[in-house]
Chains A and B, each alone.
Chain A
Amino acid sequence: MRAPDETTIKAGQTLLSVEGVSLSFGGVKAIRNVSFDIRKGEIRAIIGPNGAGKTSMLNVINGFYHPQEGQITFKGIKRKKMRPHDAATGGIARTFQNVALFKSMTTLDNIMAGRTLRMHKSFFWQLLRYGPAEQEEIEHRRKVEEIIDFLEIQHIRRVPVGRLPYGLQKRVELGRALAMEPELLLLDEPMAGMNLEEKEDMCRYVIDVNNHYGTTIALIEHDMGVVMDLANRVVVLDYGQKIADGTPDEVKANKAVIDAYLGVAH
């Protein structure tokens, strides 16, 4: 699927790095001079208190926000800013903090929509449908059914996602992101608002995705237990600045992190 001239990045090498990124809305500085990298094949966690700029960081990475300063290097290509379309074609997929599914479409259609970029039959064939367009549709349907099996959501295939409970919606959203066969998967609080059992399920899917498909994952999560278990490396943001970066154990012991979470005695 990948274009031949693209540099292939081996496991352990830097897949994406942000350097000196600053982002502000009017007078509000959401991100100040943050740099970090994500290595191919790892699970990278971004943590920090509310309003630390985590989601904004993901938005910068997949091109929804454009930073005023800094640059983003993805697969060896340096950019001042990402464009959403470039990010998607380059293999960055994501899920959202407040589920952003296509509410009136079925689970199947939502996940099929994730295949859009990989479907190429022209408008003309789409009009006729019978023939090449249908062939393509079936091919991708097969892939989508694999994902549906993987996430164990066969029973809700034909249900409009707006009617599903929150936990299932999160799962469908993960499915939609997976359908893009991403190289880098950004998960924005994939376990927020879930009960223990659902969290465990979701953790399992995240680990499976990482193991099976070798997908690099960057996730934002508030549940420290989950983060410490899942992540290979953790970056900590506070008030838009990076205050720590390292393995879970290093971060846990970091003075600045403890202060940020527990507050400082003045």
Chain B
Amino acid sequence: MFYREAGQFKTTYRADMATFPITQDRIGIAIILMVAFTVIPYFGSNFFLHAIMIPFLIFALAAIGLNILTGYTGLLSLGTGGFMGVGAYACYKLATIFPEVHILIWVVTSGFVSAAVGIVFGLPSLRIKGFYLAVATLASQFFLSWCFIRIPWLVNYNVSNAIEVPRRTLFGVHVTGPEATPHARYFVVLAIVVAMTWLASNLVRGRIGRMWMAVRDMDIAAELMGIKLLNTKLLAFAVSSFYCGVAGAMLVFLYYGSAEATAFSINQSFAILSMVIIGGLGSLLGSFLGAALIFMLPLLLPPFLGSLGLSIQAATAEHLSFMVIGALIVFFLIVEPHGLARLWQIAKQKLRVWPYPY
């Protein structure tokens, strides 16, 4: 009843193929964007922006990256953390070698470096499939982790063996380094994430998205239709790694402020994978929902249990959230393999017919 497309007739294919063909969706997304760009920075505290919104957006971007590879193209990857790291280290090196170029340009272009690395590690995907490929991506994860630790050149021979983020400004406002306010960084992150999400949604709805999904659903048929498997898979690897790389660069330059190799360990890969599973494979919206759930669960669990009269220690909360995440993954796979994104669709369907059941 509230959400109904009755009476909204499409008279052109253009209208039929729009990103949000239904008016209510268009209004909804406009409201979300407005809230994100005005209400949240205006009312949100520094803590809210820094500790919740910024990392949530960054992880959502990384989840989109993995979703392109695993959700859309069906190539299971356990190497997300490594590709994020490539982005971060590439950004650091580029920013130190060419300090005169603005850092935000490097944040975005560092994605190209990780895309290149992604292509190299995607090469085996021609010969191997499924779990075998997952193991191949583990190889990239461990190899890259090793590189981050063992090659001091990557961190400019810092004694700390960590990336130290330089101070840079945009229009006279600090955006990176210790002086940058959460607000400034939030706007930068938000702008990049929104833009890249938009581009990703264009890709997955067009010819390239169909090629990816065709390879995922039935690679033999796709090949016999003239889709070149290797090219298609490598493109997925490249785009996916690009997204992960940018997310990794943002993670260090706009969130952590400095980072060691452990930030891009296999555990990071697992965390992003669980976001994608819970959010929904093959859904951009799901990437956001999954990132929100996985990232915020450890933060929200203690106050929630506290309201029930149970007070727990921080460590216990972390263990509990691991258990909850694990249980949620299994729960979602059993009840709704398409994750939170599918639940949202079901909710929309209910709204459409409300107050009737059908």
Contact = CB atoms under 8 A, between A and B. Distances in A.
Given A116-B226, A127-B199, A102 B221 contact: yes
Interface string B41-60: 00000000000000000000
B291 to A, nearest CB: 22
Interface in B17-58: 17
B227 interface: yes
Contacts of A116: 207, 210-211, 214, 225-227
B116 interface: no
Contacts of A138: 12-14, 17
B210 A94 contact: no
B206 interface: yes
Interface string B81-109: 00000000000000000000000000000
B223 interface: yes
B150 interface: no
Contact of A94 (B13, B17, B206, B224): B224
Contact of A128 (B202, B216, B226, B235): B202
A158 B338 CA distance: 18
Which of B217, B220, B223 counts the most chain A CB atoms within 10 A? B217
A87 B225 CA distance: 9
Interface string A126-139: 11110001100110
Given A104-B282, A126-B202, A84 B210 contact: no
Contacts of B1: none
Given A116-B227, A134-B14, A141-B17, A105 B210 contact: yes
Contacts of A176: 225
Contact of B226 (A64, A85, A121, A133): A85
Contact of B208 (A96, A100, A123): A123
B210 A109 contact: yes
A113 to B, nearest CB: 5
A220 interface: no
A247 to B, nearest CB: 30
A107 to B, nearest CB: 13
Contacts of B315: none
Contacts of B335: none
Give the interface SS of chain B, mostly helix, strand, loop or mixed. helix
A55 interface: no
Main SS of chain A's interface residues? helix
A141 B221 contact: no
A93 interface: yes
A103 B225 CA distance: 16
Question: Contact size class for A?
Answer: 35 or more
A141 B202 contact: no
B210 A101 contact: no
Contacts of A64: 220, 223-224
A216 interface: no
B225 A117 contact: yes
A33 B207 CA distance: 41
Interface string B315-345: 0000000000000000000000000000000
A23 interface: no
Given A84-B224, A88-B225, A116-B226, A104 B217 contact: yes
B228 interface: yes
A84 B231 CA distance: 14
B227 A103 contact: no
Contacts of A103: 217-218
A127 to B, nearest CB: 5
B203 interface: yes
Contacts of B203: 126-127
Interface in A64-118: 64, 84-85, 87-89, 93-94, 96, 100-105, 109, 112-114, 116-117
A215 interface: no
A208 B226 CA distance: 25
Contacts of B228: 85
Contacts of A137: 13, 17, 206-207
A100 B227 CA distance: 15
A241 interface: no
A129 B205 contact: yes
A180 interface: yes
A180 B217 contact: no
Contacts of B217: 101-105
B45 to A, nearest CB: 36
Interface of A: 62-64, 84-85, 87-89, 93-94, 96, 100-105, 109, 112-114, 116-117, 119, 121, 123, 126-129, 133-134, 137-138, 141-142, 145, 176, 180
Interface of B: 12-14, 17, 199, 202-203, 205-208, 210-211, 213-214, 216-218, 220-228, 235, 282
